[in-house]
Structure 1
Amino acid sequence: MPLDPDLEGFLELAEMGRLSGKSQPMHQLTPQAARAEFDLTSQILDPSPPGAINVSALQVPTRDGQLLAARLYRKIGTEQSVLPVILYFHGGGYVLGSLDSHDSICRRLAASGRHAVLAPAYRLAPEHPFPAAVNDAVDSANWLAREGAVLQLDPLKVTLAGDSAGATLATVLAISAVQHPEEMVLKPQAQLLFYPVADTQRTRPSHQRYAEGFLLESKTLQWFYRHYTPDAEQRGDWRTSPLLTQGLTTLAPAYISLAEYDPLYDEGLEYADLLKNTGTSVTLLTQNGLTHDFLRMSGITGDIVNIYSAVDSWLALH
């Protein structure tokens, strides 16, 4: 399917900025500069997220004694109700992304009032390379299992979710809940995976097809991986490349939503097939005409509202 015309116009403007020298490819920036630029894009991609949301600032303790900033999102009027919860991890290649950059996604997931959304800010590379993000994600999940009831959250009704690298963290938790129950107390009832990173070790045809000009670039992916896994052998670890997981068995039902114009598209399809082969219930969708990061694009194209609606309908059944 052709690229969404509104998104195509946005990408053309971005390319003009690059050609004029006003902007640079992300992989040519320092992590600090790339983070600042990435956070600013949220105001352009989704300038008017739902406002009728109660947002609470929290702190999540980690195994090394640090505290992670986190936010809890609930539709106004549900504060006294015990709600199922979506544990959401933001994307950004383990190098970028923040509670601010993905605030609009969390608001939209919480807007129906069907679920609360808990979003922890795991630590980023290169300051905190692998396995810091994984450890922070596990600690966040276990904290939710212990403390959720105090926050009017149902720790027995948790959906693990994320986009891009955040979706990879969600997959790692879902796998850990089955394969490493001694480490992972929380037992999820479902997974929401948006354009996950499934294999940091090997490239596929979609990495060449959409290498440049479709928002996420293949060179940027490699830039992410070098920061997060400076030792190339770490990219063979199943926690960075879930496609390499050995002995995988049935996991919580998964909703996998991929972008047609995304370097990660092929590995997303492979991961969906891997889950299906374990007997895991998989709902797989390709968002035609869209690129990586489409969840943050409600201000660019009208198609995104239907994506959130479909997610909400699926969650109502799981």
Structure 2
Amino acid sequence: MKALDPQIRHFIEDVCREGARLRGGRQLDWAERRLIAAQARAPWREGGPRMAATRDYRLASPHGEFGLRVLYPLVMETRPSPALVYFHGGGWCMFGLDTHDRLLREYADASQRVVVAIDYSLAPEHPYPAALDQAVIALDWLQKHGADAGIDARHIALGGDSAGANLAVAAALRLRQAGQLKRISALLLNYGAWTPALSAVARQSLGTSEDMLSGAEMDEFWTAYLGPEAERTASPLSAPLHAELQDLPPALLLWGDRDVLAEQNQAMAQRLVQAGVQVHAHVYPGAPHSFIEAMSISDQARDAIARGAEWIRRHTPVFSSQGLSA
């Protein structure tokens, strides 16, 4: 296992230092933790590609209204455009459209596809299955209204990072249950959270309090999402490592070898292969959890975005009035 990548280390040290300064040693509630996490990351989402336009929508759900943002790149191969539907990470408890704004713009620009970001309701105020229900509602909305928003709903990729990768696969599984999986062309899965179980080796070597994501933090996130007995109560839809994965669309899995979730990402890639899914996986040496956030200074983060964008382009072909085009 390689030492932490020096470019990414700079990002981690800056975010952790600023987060500690803003906390000031206080015990924080979830609302305060979300605000500080966003503030500490604010400089790291500056810059990046400009969009031709951005539209925000509000959708209804049994768990309350939630947001949906559509980002249109300056260059699109066709109108309406295929789309990447992206679910942000943050342990189902933190982050949102603003923390992931630059990443969303990078994907839109590099893929020349519309990106649709889901601002799902957060745990613990809205535990499982709120976020998953809203994911499916958003996909149904795209099926019905996508053309009005300039989206070709025949060619949709689902993606996400960490908890968002979990939601992307869970949403695909829900569509499979409904006989509608053909609506999804591909999966883009960045360092996903696939099961509450973490090995002792992962906790001790990669999930300490000094790491970007600790084992204790993951336990807290899973408890907020599923309750205090998360390992016992996890279902195939909340912990997709334990799901039957056959018939899922082609999946790209990206993670770093310095991530406490590295073991379960390797296990998820293997389970997908065993289920007959077309899988491409790439492991970044010296990269921790959330390394793609360091895109402004990290070669590895930029490579991960480029790989993801190319995967989206490959699996969401565009159609012109003359037929299929490249």
Q: TM-score, normalised by structure 2?
A: 0.87
CA-atom RMSD, angstroms?
A: 2.5
Structure 1 match to 2:201: 205
In structure 2, how many angstroms separate the alpha carbons of the residues matched to 1:5 and 1:187?
41
The change in CA–CA distance for 1:35 and 1:17 in structure 2 (over 3 A counts) is closer
In structure 1, how many angstroms separate the alpha carbons of the residues matched to 2:298 and 2:10?
10
Structure 2 match to 1:57: 56
2:45–2:101 CA contact under 8 A, matched in 1: no
Find out whether 1:140 has 2:138 as its counterpart: yes
**In terms of mean alpha carbon deviation, does 143-152 or 272-281 score higher?**
143-152
Offset at 1:299? 2.4
Structure 1 match to 2:318: none
The change in CA–CA distance for 1:5 and 1:159 in structure 2 (over 3 A counts) is same
> Which structure 1 residue ranges, 5 or more long, are not aligned?
none
**In terms of mean alpha carbon deviation, does 165-174 or 219-228 score higher?**
219-228
The change in CA–CA distance for 1:13 and 1:58 in structure 2 (over 3 A counts) is closer
| Residues 115-136 of structure 1: per-residue CA shift (max 9 Å, x gap) | 1000111101111111111111
| Residues 18-61 of structure 1: per-residue CA shift (max 9 Å, x gap) | 8xx63669996421121012212332333212124421111223
**In terms of mean alpha carbon deviation, does 95-104 or 43-52 score higher?**
43-52
Structure 2 match to 1:161: 159
> Which structure 2 residue ranges, 5 or more long, are not aligned?
316-326
In structure 2, how many angstroms separate the alpha carbons of the residues matched to 1:24 and 1:222?
21
| Residues 195-240 of structure 1: per-residue CA shift (max 9 Å, x gap) | 1111014545323211122211111111111211124156421122
| Residues 63-107 of structure 1: per-residue CA shift (max 9 Å, x gap) | x28331111011135498111000100000011011111111110
Q: TM-score, normalised by structure 1?
A: 0.89
Structure 1 match to 2:323: none
1:272–1:282 CA contact under 8 A, matched in 2: yes
Structure 1 match to 2:322: none
Structure 2 match to 1:313: 310
Find out whether 1:43 has 2:42 as its counterpart: yes
Letter in 1 for 2:55: S
Find out whether 1:288 has 2:285 as its counterpart: yes
**In terms of mean alpha carbon deviation, does 157-166 or 284-293 score higher?**
284-293
| Residues 228-284 of structure 1: per-residue CA shift (max 9 Å, x gap) | 112415642112211111x43121000000121111110011011000001100000
| SS of structure 2 residue aligned to 1:111 | helix
Letter in 2 for 1:306: D
Letter in 1 for 2:195: D
2:75–2:112 CA contact under 8 A, matched in 1: no
Offset at 1:8? 2.2
Structure 1 match to 2:6: 5
In structure 2, how many angstroms separate the alpha carbons of the residues matched to 1:26 and 1:228?
25
Offset at 1:9? 3.4
In structure 2, how many angstroms separate the alpha carbons of the residues matched to 1:48 and 1:30?
30
* Identical pairs, percent: 25
Q: May I ask how many residue pairs the two structures share in their alignment? A: 312
| SS of structure 1 residue aligned to 2:160 | strand
Find out whether 1:31 has 2:38 as its counterpart: no
Find out whether 1:105 has 2:103 as its counterpart: yes
Letter in 2 for 1:39: A
**In terms of mean alpha carbon deviation, does 190-199 or 51-60 score higher?**
51-60
Structure 1 match to 2:296: 299
